[in-house]
Amino acid sequence: MIALGADHGGLQLKEAIKKYLESENIECKDFGTFDETSVDYAPIAAKVAHCVANGEAESGILCCGTGIGMSIAANKVKGIRASVCSDAYCTEMTRRHNNANILCMGGRVIDEAKAVEFAKIFLQTEFEGGRHQRRLDEIAAIERGEL
């Protein structure tokens, strides 16, 4: 299951991604927002991040105006590696090398077609492990206050 969330600035991207996921029979849970009324992004990011962190969802996708606010908020949840991506290469590498579990994108940065393309890449790309796992272990040590 994929957890989805957006504020008003990312609503159109989220809706395009949701339509794609449903067309591929990929289960998703939509944490909102559901219209273009201005809404704060942090509570939505928190809901998606907790859903991913507690294992209810395999991964998450968050959208706001730039993706930056959503990523900052989501990364406050222990175990979350949320990454803002605005090109295909970074989207692939955030999975291969960083094992990101939440993709963040901006509705004022990319269009709906790119958002769907990046969602596909994110969901289909595997983590390489190896030397990259050591680096993730170091990030976890930072979370624990050990580094």
Distances (CA, A) of 80 to 37, 39, 58, 68, 85: 27, 23, 11, 15, 16
Please pick, among 8, 90, 97, 132, the residue that the annotation labels catalytic.
97
> What are the two backbone dihedrals, phi and then psi, of residue 144, each rounded to the nearest 5 degrees?
-85, -5
Please pick, among 28, 63, 64, 104, the residue that the annotation labels catalytic.
64
Helices (H), 3-146: 11-23, 42-53, 68-74, 88-96, 112-124, 131-143
64 tagged catalytic: yes
* Active site members: 64, 97
